[in-house]
Chains A and B, each alone.
Chain A
Amino acid sequence: MATALKINGKQHQVDLPEDVPLLWVLRDEVGLTGTKFGCGVAACGACTVHIDGEAVRSCQVSLSDVWGDVTTIEGIGTPDALATIQQAWVDHQVAQCGYCQSGQIMQAAALLAENPAPTDADIDEAMQGNLCRCGTYPRIRAAIHDAASKLKEA
């Protein structure tokens, strides 16, 4: 039986077993490949998306358990129309291999939505589930602070 999902504002009917994780629904069924697979056990954060604005690990949410509207990295901005937080990532030249950055940005976006002026300690707390093997953490931190101040001005 098909399951209805709202992803980035668009309705989708998905015909997959109900225990398939949202991550693999997005990537292999819907074709939204911006959300990445890193570990499958909620230990790296590469698959972070928003459900009703909350940052969740999409590898841990079964299709039948998706409780609200899903937003992925493709839903917050595009190459021609970057979100403020994405622009901050560009301004600080954060990404190296870039594979984890979709998850980093989605996690940081949820942090800023909840806490418009995070301290370093707040960033440590919110971002510690997101692994980056290239070690881009100093620039992620700088980009979050920068995005916070730009969002405040806006």
Chain B
Amino acid sequence: MASVGKILRRTFLIGSAAIVGGVAFGGYYVTRPAANPLKPGEGEAALNPFVLIDQNGVTLFAPRAEMGQGVKTTWAALIAEELDVDLDQITVLHGPAAQAYYNTAMMGEGLPNKGYDISNFQHNLGQALGVIGKVVSLQVTGGSTSMKDGFERMREAGASARETLKQAAADRLGVDRDQLQTTSGHVIAPNGDKIAYTDLAEDVAKLEPIEAPLRDPSEWRYLGQTQPRLDMVGKVTGTAEFAIDVRLPGMKFASARMNPKLGGAMNGFDDSHVKSMPGVEKIVDLGNGVAVIATNTWLANQAVEAINVDWGDAPYPPETDAIFAKIAEAFEDKPNSTMRDDGNVSTLPEGASEISAEYTVPYLAHATMEPMTAAALYSGNKLEFWGGNQAPTFMQTKIASAANLDSDAVEVHTTYLGGGFGRRGEFDFGVIATKIAMAMPNTPVLTTWSREEDMRHDFYRPGAIARMRGAIKDGQAVLIDGQVASQSCTHQAVSRITGFAGGGPDKVLVEGIFNQPYAVPNYRISGHIADLDIPVGFWRSVGNSHNGFFHETFMDELAHAAGRDPLEFRLELMKGEHAPSAGCLEAVKEMSGWTGQTPDGVGRGVAFTYSFGTPVAQVIEVVDEDGSIRINKAWIACDMGLALDPDNVKAQMFGGMMYGLSAACFGEITFAEGEVEQFNFPDYDSVRMHTAPQVEVRVLETNRHMGGAGEPGTPPSMPALGNALFDLTGKRARSLPLINQFDLLI
């Protein structure tokens, strides 16, 4: 195992400056409490950054983006569990962008271990690294980290608030704090009298917070139980507010067009015929694009589309084939990382037979249901901003810079996100909305992207190629030697966030392929970074989204070459390596009644990916219906370690799978003349009601550490489907999307 010093000298996730800088700061900066962003008014008590109490009620803060994963509810449940308030009696808000809301779990993910095999020491080291998240104000929702991040801290916030409230009541009643109980937002006196927390707001505001131990899990009443989601009623009545729904007095509506040759310049534009179009109030030169502010979004969009623009060329090869040729060139360079190098892959073990295959996956758009949207109100020395965003502190910095203001002069309101999937961790839409609003000071302007603008100006999941070589002997895999090449989303994101070039070994590029719990004696995985300037970013499950497909399709090829059942083949390699992972495979075997045999016209495939601390196995069944192939059923088993809300975990698992199936079947972003060729959903379809499988999910809790839920359902779906199609047709899917090779039901 690498020493701590060695790990820290290496550069992970966001580069050496942040890591080394953070640790050096350590002693002072890290222990200094982050300022409480809640500014209580008269008669209000902000007991910590997560609990605010006044005469009217209790408000909890869940400063993580609610993009469908249920974080608002479960985060609030963590606080409520210790605070003794009823979830239906409180208000839950997202709160402002603030350092106090940093993510502790995200940095730990950057450590160069496989995850499933980490010791408690490494686990703690990951938690220690989490403090760096505070140094860099890493208020990010992503990486399936919210529950790992909030689990301890939010219960502590609740416990501390409870004990401090009890102290206020004890002072008032003249009794000791330990004589008091709490229930449903009240302190209970020894004689049974109740004092509402709201009545204690004024007194408790004068006290120092009290630290308190956490309750034993056996006493939990919310955690581990399914809770009704706090956002559900709003979302079924059209009253939940997304960024696109923000309405302010005097609001105007804008539409923007940026260069479709991504990153290219704007040479000039002619808007002479546009100024007189209906509803048009202002045409805005964004430097690298144009926008129209109008009285109505549709009128703004009609007008902006009518502007004649002379666009400069893109800084990357203009055609898809040339782009993939460039990705393949990366194999010729020294690897950026070799995160796994077990045994010796150079020599073929005696008596083994060798198999090799090359796999290719395309660039992918996020295609959130709500296109990129943000509202801004600029008043010269102040900027107010409304948006659905996964990284409010970074957004605040970026839009402040766009408006030439200090971050303190920028207020960020985070609305519900109409889908995130990683896209809303970017800032481009916020910066554009800010620049547009600056053209009309003191008037709130809502900028809504057209679907076409959204699909053609994404930070795409990078296209990737894998070259896999393996060997089997006596029915077992004895060698896996894999190389993956793609652009690095990590390096690009670092450069966008910090302004400095990202560097160092990119773990994300090889996650999902170097760290799979299979005991193969000779096992090497290397990552190669393709030097291309297509905008790429974090797409649900990130590197796992391509590597799951590569690894698990190859595993299937090895199993078939060995003449083995692909599920048993995996199970045998996994059993001694990581029992919870093997448990997931055993679970889907039982749930699906897997026999290794399927009748004519039915195909089944299995796949497994360990990602974000959670092992997930899936079996997918396809059926041939008069020459058209339909995905009929899916079985999912995951091991969360601890599932704080089991039903919500199930929703995330099948949702993650559907997102992966959409990409596997239909998802493909291609380029011609430097422009993305897909415009709208007809060119970039998803699974729909009639093409989505019936699904059964089982949530296991044997793993040592709590895993993430939002992303791990995605990676195994793609190979499981490809492997099912192989079982049905005998044709091996070595590239995606599958619609290009199979007659899938559409």
A binding-site residues for B, Cβ under 8 Å: 16-17, 20-21, 23-24, 27-29, 31-41, 43-44, 46, 72-74, 77-79, 82, 86, 89-90, 93-102, 105, 123-125, 127-141
Contacts and interface: CB of A to CB of B under 8 A. Distances in A.
B439 interface: no
Contacts of B334: none
Contacts of A128: 688-691
A134 B419 contact: yes
A105 B74 CA distance: 25
Contact of B228 (A90, A130, A135, A141): A90
Nearest to B278: A17
Contact of A39 (B418, B658, B680, B694): B680
Interface string B210-236: 000000000000000010110111111
For the complex of A and B, the 5 pairs showing the least CB-CB separation, nearest first, are A34-B238, A135-B658, A98-B235, A96-B68, A97-B68
Contacts of A37: 244, 297, 371, 448
Contact of A97 (B234, B238, B419): B419
Nearest to B252: A28
Given A36-B418, A135-B659, A27 B297 contact: yes
28 contacts: A17-B278, A20-B296, A20-B299, A24-B299, A27-B297, A33-B244, A34-B238, A36-B369, A37-B297, A39-B681, A73-B237, A74-B239, A78-B239, A95-B229, A95-B235, A96-B651, A100-B369, A105-B236, A124-B689, A128-B691, A131-B369, A133-B367, A133-B369, A134-B655, A135-B662, A137-B688, A138-B692, A141-B689
B654 interface: yes
Contacts of A127: 688-690
Given A73-B238, A90-B236, A125-B690, A38 B299 contact: no
Given A24-B297, A90-B228, A97 B369 contact: yes
Given A16-B296, A124-B689, A135-B687, A38 B228 contact: no
A36 B244 contact: yes
A135 B647 CA distance: 15
A34 B451 contact: no
Which of B296, B299, B656 has the most chain A CB atoms inside 10 A of its CB? B296
Contacts, number: 196
B419 A137 contact: no
A135 B238 contact: no
Contacts of B299: 16-17, 20, 24
A99 B654 contact: no
Contact of B238 (A39, A43, A102, A130): A102
Contacts of B689: 123-124, 127-128, 130, 137, 140-141
Contacts of B657: 135
Contact of B237 (A28, A82, A93, A134): A82
A92 B234 CA distance: 15
B660 to A, nearest CB: 9
Nearest to B73: A93
A96 B655 contact: yes
Given A99-B418, A133-B367, 7 more contacts: A17-B279, A33-B247, A41-B451, A128-B690, A132-B369, A132-B686, A133-B368
A73 B236 CA distance: 8
A86 to B, nearest CB: 4
Nearest to B746: A128
B69 interface: yes
Given A27-B297, A128-B688, A138-B692, A95 B231 contact: yes
B370 interface: yes
Contacts of B448: 37
A94 B68 CA distance: 10
B238 A35 contact: yes
A125 B177 CA distance: 63
A134 B713 CA distance: 12
Given A99-B242, A127-B689, A135 B232 contact: no
Report which residue of A72, A90, A123 has the largest number of chain B beta carbons within 10 angstroms of its beta carbon: A90
Contacts of A78: 237, 239
A132 B421 CA distance: 13
Contacts of A73: 237-238
A7 B680 CA distance: 29
A29, A34, A39, A44: most-surrounded residue (chain B CB, <10 A): A39
Contact of A93 (B371, B647, B659): B647
Interface of B: 67-70, 226, 228-229, 231-242, 244-245, 247, 253, 278-279, 295-299, 367-371, 416-421, 448, 450-451, 647-648, 651-652, 654-659, 661-662, 680-682, 686-692, 694-695
Contacts of A133: 367-369, 419, 421, 659, 662, 686
A87 to B, nearest CB: 8
A102 B370 CA distance: 13
A131 B418 contact: no
A98 B416 contact: yes
B236 A46 contact: no
Nearest to B301: A40
B393 to A, nearest CB: 22
B681 A90 contact: no
Contacts of B231: 95, 98
Nearest to B251: A28
A21 B371 CA distance: 18
A95 B236 contact: yes
Contact of B369 (A40, A44, A77): A44
Contacts of B238: 32-35, 72-74, 102
B297 A101 contact: no
Q: Give the most central of A36, A44, A134: most B CB within 10 Å.
A: A134
Given A33-B245, A138-B695, A41 B369 contact: no
A31 B659 CA distance: 32
Nearest to A88: B236
B451 A39 contact: yes
Contacts of A93: 226, 228-229, 232, 647-648, 651
Contacts of B416: 97-98
A77 B237 CA distance: 7
Given A28-B297, A128-B688, A128-B690, A135 B655 contact: yes
Contacts of B659: 133-135
A140 to B, nearest CB: 7
Given A36-B418, A41-B680, A128-B689, A99 B247 contact: no
A32 B247 CA distance: 10
Contacts of B70: 96
Residue from B231, B419, B647, B694 with most neighbouring chain A CB atoms (10 Å): B419
A91 B247 CA distance: 30
A125 B299 CA distance: 34
Given A97-B419, A100-B369, A131 B686 contact: yes
Residue of A86, A124, A138 most packed against chain B (CB within 10 A): A138
Given A36-B244, A90-B228, A138 B654 contact: yes
Contact of B68 (A17, A20, A27, A134): A134
Contacts of A20: 296, 298-299
A33 B578 CA distance: 49
Q: Which of B70, B278, B369, B648 has the most CB of A within 10 A?
A: B369
A65 B373 CA distance: 28
A101 B236 contact: yes
The CB with the most chain A CB atoms within 10 A, among B298, B370, B681, B686, is that of: B298
B651 A136 contact: yes
Contacts of A134: 68, 369, 419, 655, 658-659
A98 B240 contact: yes
Chain B CB count within 10 A is highest, among A36, A100, A130, A137, for A137
A77 B234 CA distance: 11
Contacts of B651: 93, 96, 136, 139
Contacts of A32: 238
B64 to A, nearest CB: 14
A124 to B, nearest CB: 4
Nearest to A75: B238
A28 B296 contact: yes
